């Protein structure tokens, strides 16, 4: 029997993992059960109406694969009306919904080594949707912060407001019968989300709102099983997802030495200018990795949307590992909850550029540039899985903890340390800004560098969501452990599961 360490940003996810490992599940089953539970308990950050990117390590062979289930824009997409309406993509609404990839991503992950049928893995999530789950502090905060969006959408209002029309408070019971029915349908056959009754209801609801997505767009979605990007530095190999994920930005910063803020800013500007979908055109990997000089001053910059995400990380004592991220992008995604299915739909399309010269330009069938940035690290005697909430800032957040997590006696102490983050619109800032939590190491030096780089500088009153919710699990010296960021509502567990992943 394998021993599994797992971390997730909500206790319901860990309980779901515990249930499926008790039923004979292994590492991948545990990660999938946690991910499914989060789509019920954390609808502000993830949903089966969102996308998924994951890394999976096979401990027996030492190989790593990427599951990239990022949905595409409609085949009938015409950027012209959106260009006429404004210079950037809208932040929400039906035109920002691309085909959701989460469910196909789950199925591909299960194919890589699940021990239980996907229907069994979904049982805890279905029970949460049907019986209810307590509203967490993070969800209650998100409802308050986006109350205008919640009130503007009938589906979100019915889901997240009480009978008096007020936001659900911490501890209130969130019951989602329509979502429970959808999960039951997907338990029968996950393909229903793309070609069956679930797909028909979703497409009908979206088209009523003006979306161009149709049945063929849903039916055409496939999760991509592909090789990751990797880099070896100082005896440690780092693994990240390839484009359209921004994983290259993390590799660009890790292990470079020198000034981390300058490297992060360079990587940020490169990502904004160079990241796109390799299925739709060439993507400059060397430029993204900061391995080649590029003059990006004249290139069109990508949009700077906000983002929200959940990470599930799991490692077992046989060296198998999963780093999984799924999200609806901005809190509550597009601002649409489909009443017929209970599905909150993401706004990944808001990350497209409307400039036709940009590699991430809105095109028929293209996938948008993606913030999701899971990572794995391998070194002699060590395997580390990590991921975080943090939108476009995920690479800079992870870069501040990743190397220390390899050997730190207590990973929870690493995650609790004050952090810095850079961004602009994604951090609700009008201009590019360095944001510092109180007690951030080398704050004076970072401030001086930020001003030299033309960044504004701001602080937070304490630990803050903007600094990310990191989840990590690791194998070190034959023992597994995990840590969950204190900025989130999460926890960890060490479980006994099936010996074969």
Write the secondary structure of 48-77 as one string of H (helix), E (strand) and C (coil).
CECEEEEEEEECCCCEEEEEEECCCCCCCC
d(CA 386, CA 469): 11
CA–CA dist 159, 119 (Å, integer): 25
**Given pLDDT bands bounded at 50, 70 and 90, which one contains residue 474?**
very high
What pLDDT is attached to residue 304? 54
Burial class (CB in 10 A: 0-12, 13-18, 19+), 431: exposed
User: How many percent of the chain have pLDDT more than 70?
Assistant: 96
Residues 14 and 41: beta-carbon distance below 8 Å: no
- What's the longest Cα–Cα distance across the chain? 60
Rounded average pLDDT over 261-267? 93
Residue 38 pLDDT class (50, 70, 90 cuts): very high
Which domains occur in the chain, in start order? Answer: 2-228+302-419+468-497 (3.60.20.40), 420-467 (no CATH)
| In contact, 312 and 322? CB cutoff 8 Å | yes
- CB-based contacts of 22-25 (< 8 A; 24+ apart in sequence): 23/116, 23/120, 24/115, 24/116, 24/497, 24/498, 25/114, 25/115, 25/116, 25/120, 25/121, 25/497, 25/498
Query: What gap in Å lies between CA 441 and CA 428, rounded to an integer?
Result: 23
- Cβ pair 30, 496 in contact under 8 A: no
In what order do the strands lie in the sheet containing 456-459? Answer: 420-423, 433-436, 456-459
Tokens representing 330? 């901005």
Question: Band of the pLDDT at 392, cuts 50, 70, 90?
Answer: confident
Total Cβ atoms within 10 A of residue 227:
12
pLDDT in tens, 421-459: 998 877 778 889 999 999 999 999 999 999 999 999 999
pLDDT tier at 94, thresholds 50, 70, 90: very high
**What confidence score (pLDDT) does residue 299 get?**
59
Task: Please give the pLDDT value at position 301.
Answer: 61
Residue 106: closest CA among 434, 332, 326? 326
Instruction: Tell me the β-bridge partners of 182.
Output: none
Mind listing the pLDDT tens digit for each residue in 376-389? 999 999 999 999 98
Q: How far apart, in whole angstroms, are the C-alpha atoms of residue 74 and residue 95?
A: 9
Residue 99 half-sphere exposure toward CB, CA atoms < 13 A: 34
Instruction: Name the average pLDDT for the chain.
Output: 93
What value does the mean pLDDT take over residues 74-81?
A: 94
pTM (two decimals): 0.95
Q: Which residues are tagged catalytic? A: 309
């Amino acid at each position: 029997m394998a021993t599994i360490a797992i971390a997730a940003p909500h206790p319901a996810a860990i309980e779901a993992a515990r249930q499926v490992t008790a039923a004979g599940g292994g590492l991948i089953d545990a990660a999938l059960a946690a991910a499914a539970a989060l789509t019920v308990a954390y609808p502000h950050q993830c949903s089966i109406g969102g996308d998924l990117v994951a890394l999976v390590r096979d401990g027996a062979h030492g190989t790593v694969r990427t599951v990239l289930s990022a949905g595409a824009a409609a085949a009938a997409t015409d950027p012209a009306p959106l260009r006429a309406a404004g210079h950037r993509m809208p932040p929400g609404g039906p035109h920002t919904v691309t085909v959701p990839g989460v469910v196909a991503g789950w199925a591909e992950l299960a194919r890589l080594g699940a021990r239980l049928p996907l229907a069994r893995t979904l049982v805890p999530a279905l029970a949460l949707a049907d019986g209810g789950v307590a509203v967490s502090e993070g969800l209650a905060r998100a409802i308050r912060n986006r109350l205008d969006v919640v009130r503007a959408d009938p589906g979100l209002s019915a889901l997240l407001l009480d009978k008096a029309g007020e936001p659900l408070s911490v501890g209130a019971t969130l019951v989602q019968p329509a979502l429970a029915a959808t999960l039951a349908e997907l338990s029968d056959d996950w393909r229903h989300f793309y070609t069956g009754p679930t797909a028909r209801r979703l497409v009908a609801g979206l088209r009523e709102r003006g979306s161009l997505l149709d049945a063929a767009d849903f039916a055409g979605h496939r999760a991509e099983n592909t090789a990751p990007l990797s880099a070896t530095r100082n005896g440690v190999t780092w693994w990240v997802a390839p484009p359209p994920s921004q994983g290259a930005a993390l590799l660009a910063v890790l292990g470079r030495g020198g000034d981390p803020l300058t490297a992060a800013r360079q990587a940020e500007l490169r990502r904004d200018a160079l990241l796109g979908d390799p299925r739709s055109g060439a993507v400059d990997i060397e430029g993204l990795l900061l391995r080649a000089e590029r003059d990006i001053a004249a290139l069109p910059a990508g949009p700077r949307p906000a983002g929200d995400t959940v990470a599930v990380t799991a490692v077992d004592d046989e060296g198998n590992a999963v780093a999984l991220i799924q999200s609806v992008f901005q809190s509550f995604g597009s601002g649409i909850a489909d009443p017929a299915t209970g599905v909150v739909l993401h706004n990944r399309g808001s990350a497209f550029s409307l400039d036709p010269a940009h590699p991430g330009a809105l095109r028929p069938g293209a996938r948008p540039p993606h913030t999701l940035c899971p990572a794995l690290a391998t070194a002699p005697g060590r395997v580390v899985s990590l991921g975080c909430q943090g939108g476009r800032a995920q690479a800079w957040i992870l870069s501040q903890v990743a190397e220390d997590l390899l050997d730190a006696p207590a990973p929870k102490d690493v995650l609790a340390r004050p952090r810095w983050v850079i961004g602009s619109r994604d951090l609700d800032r009008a201009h590019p800004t360095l944001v510092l939590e109180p007690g951030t190491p080398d704050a004076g030096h970072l401030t001086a560098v930020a001003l030299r780089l033309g960044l504004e500088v701001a602080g937070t009153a304490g630990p803050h969501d903007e600094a990310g919710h990191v989840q990590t699990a690791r194998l070190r010296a034959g023992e597994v452990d995990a840590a969950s960021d204190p900025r989130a509502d999460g926890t960890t567990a060490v479980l006994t599961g099936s010996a074969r992943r």
